């Protein structure tokens, strides 16, 4: 083989290697973005179910438009369909219901996504304010390289408001 042929082979290997590396990076970024969107969608659905539970009459097993009828976050988690799993997890993320001070009449649902990119995971912090039922969510990232534990849900994307 001539020098020119060897040079072309080496150049081809470098170009193919660079293309594969760029493709893997693009796939990881898309996976991260897709996971964040899926977790945000789940949080919105869960918050809508909380609103449904809030508005359901007590005679039908709901809260009857009174958040004081809510004993704890596990009660909400069971209504949403999480069973005894709190925090709950599915293919998209890990989720936690929080009832801060009920004088505020707010319920939070937090999510930590399963995908990671550069040591960070997507997070969603959704809230619903009562009695008007305003649902809002914020998305962000946290540094997390280990398995999700309950202490990892200490993030707050609403603290600036």
**pLDDT tens, residue order, the chain (161 aa):** 688 899 999 999 999 999 999 888 888 889 999 999 999 999 999 999 999 999 999 999 888 988 888 888 888 888 888 888 888 999 999 999 998 775 778 999 999 999 999 889 999 999 999 988 899 999 999 998 888 888 899 898 887 65
- Give the count of domains, the chain: 1
95 within domain boundaries: yes
Structural domain for 89, as ranges: 3-154
Instruction: Pick the closest to residue 112 from 100, 128, 97, 125 (CA basis).
Output: 125
CB 73 within 8 A of CB 86: yes
160 within domain boundaries: no
Q: Which CATH number characterizes residue 65's domain?
A: 2.20.25.570
Question: Is the pTM higher than 0.85?
Answer: no
């Amino acid at each position: 083989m001539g020098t020119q042929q060897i040079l072309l082979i080496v150049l081809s290997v470098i170009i193919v290697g660079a293309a594969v590396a760029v493709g893997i990076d693009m796939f990881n970024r898309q996976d991260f973005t897709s996971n964040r969107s899926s977790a945000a969608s789940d949080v919105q659905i869960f918050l809508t179910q909380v609103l449904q539970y809030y508005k359901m009459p007590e005679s039908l097993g709901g809260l009857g438009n009174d958040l004081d009828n809510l004993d704890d976050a596990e009660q909400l988690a069971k209504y949403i369909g999480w069973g005894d799993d709190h925090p709950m997890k599915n293919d998209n993320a890990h989720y936690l219901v929080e009832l801060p001070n009920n004088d505020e009449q707010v319920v939070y649902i937090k999510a930590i996504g399963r995908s990671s990119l550069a040591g960070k995971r997507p997070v969603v912090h959704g809230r619903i304010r009562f009695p008007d039922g305003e649902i809002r969510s914020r998305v962000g990232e946290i540094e997390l390289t280990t398995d999700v534990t309950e202490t990892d849900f200490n993030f707050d994307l609403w603290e600036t408001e």
